[in-house]
C-alpha cells in the first residue's frame, strides 16, 4: 500500500447488519478507517461539510444521485455503490464502482483501491504501466478533445471515474498534457490522425 496513508470512509447505510459486516471485512486493512456512519441519506451534505472523506460507501436507496454532484469534482471523494439487488445503469453511472453483496474481502479491497487510484502492489496486477482497455478508451476520448463530462456520458460512467482513469493514464504514461496524450494515442495506433480535431 502507498506509504502509511489512511483513507477515510463515510458509510451511508441504514442496515445494522451491512454496517457491521463491511466494517468487520475491512478491519484487517488498516489503510481504511471509518470516520462516520450516516443512517439517513438526508444527512449526507451536512456530514461532508464537517468531514473530508476519501471514500463514500453508499446505499443508493438512501441517497438520490443528484445529491452527490460535487461543486468541484477534483476535490470530491470516490463514491462507491453498495448493491444488494439490480440497480439501473443510469443510477450506477454516478458511482466510481459498485460493491456487490456477494463480493469477498479481496474483491472489495481491490475495488476500493481502484476507486482511489492506488497502485496495486507488485504481483497483484498483471500489468505495471500498460493501459487497460477502459483507459485506452478514455485516452481516445481525451485525444478527440472531449471534456470529462462528455467522456462520462459517452462511456456511461461518472465524472469521478473519468478523473480516476485520467490520473491512472497520466501515472502510467508519464504524460500530463492533452497534446502529449494525443501524440501517444496516435503513435500507439489507438486513434488515426484524421480523428483528431
Q: What are the extents of the domains in the chain? A: 7-115, 133-195
| 3-class secondary-structure state, position 184 | helix
pLDDT of 47: 66
pLDDT of 147: 93
pLDDT of 124: 44
pLDDT of 126: 42
pLDDT of 122: 47
Under 8 Å CB-to-CB from 139, ≥6 apart: which residues? 131, 169, 181, 184, 185, 190
Identify whether the C-beta of residue 135 lies closer than 8 Å to the C-beta of residue 172. yes
Gap between the Cα atoms of 58 and 197, Å rounded: 39
Gap between the Cα atoms of 118 and 1, Å rounded: 8
> Each residue of 14-24: pLDDT tens digit?
999 999 999 99
What does DSSP assign to residue 119? Answer: P
pLDDT of 25: 92
Q: Which of 62, 48, 68 is nearest to 8 (CA)?
A: 48
pLDDT of 1: 44
pLDDT of 28: 92
Q: Which CATH number fits domain 7-115: 3.40.50.2300, 1.20.120.1200, 3.40.50.10800, 3.30.10.20?
A: 3.40.50.2300
Protein fold of 133-195: Arc Repressor Mutant, subunit A (1.10.10)
Gap between the Cα atoms of 37 and 50, Å rounded: 13
What does DSSP assign to residue 186? Answer: H
pLDDT of 123: 44
- For 123, the grid coordinates are 504481483
Exposure b/e, 6-27, CB count within 10 A at least 16 = b:
ebebbbbbeeeebbeebeebbe
Q: Which of 56, 53, 111, 103 is nearest to 79 (CA)?
A: 56
pLDDT per residue rounded down to tens, the chain (197 residues): 445 789 999 998 999 999 999 999 999 999 999 998 988 766 666 667 778 888 889 888 887 655 555 544 556 788 888 988 877 777 777 788 888 888 889 889 988 988 887 654 544 444 456 888 888 999 999 999 999 999 999 988 888 888 888 988 888 888 888 888 888 888 888 888 888 76
Amino acid at each position: 500500500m502507498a506509504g502509511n496513508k489512511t483513507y477515510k470512509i463515510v458509510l451511508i447505510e441504514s442496515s445494522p447488519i451491512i454496517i457491521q459486516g463491511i466494517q468487520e471485512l475491512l478491519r484487517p486493512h488498516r489503510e481504511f478507517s471509518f470516520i462516520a456512519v450516516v443512517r439517513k441519506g438526508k444527512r449526507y451534505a451536512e456530514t461532508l461539510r464537517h468531514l473530508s472523506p476519501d471514500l463514500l460507501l453508499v446505499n443508493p436507496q438512501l441517497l438520490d444521485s443528484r445529491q452527490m454532484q460535487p461543486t468541484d469534482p477534483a476535490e470530491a471523494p470516490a463514491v462507491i455503490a453498495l448493491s444488494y439487488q439490480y440497480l439501473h445503469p443510469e443510477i450506477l453511472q454516478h458511482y466510481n464502482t459498485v460493491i456487490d453483496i456477494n463480493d469477498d474481502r479481496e474483491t472489495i479491497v481491490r475495488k476500493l483501491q481502484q476507486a482511489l487510484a492506488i497502485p496495486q502492489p507488485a504481483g497483484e496486477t498483471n500489468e505495471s504501466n500498460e493501459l487497460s482497455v477502459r483507459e485506452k478508451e478514455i485516452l481516445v476520448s481525451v485525444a478527440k478533445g472531449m471534456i470529462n463530462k462528455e467522456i462520462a456520458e459517452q462511456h456511461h460512467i461518472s465524472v469521478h471515474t473519468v478523473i480516476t482513469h485520467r490520473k491512472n493514464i497520466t501515472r502510467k504514461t508519464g504524460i500530463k498534457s492533452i497534446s502529449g496524450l494525443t501524440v501517444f494515442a496516435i503513435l500507439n495506433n489507438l486513434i488515426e490522425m484524421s480523428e483528431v480535431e
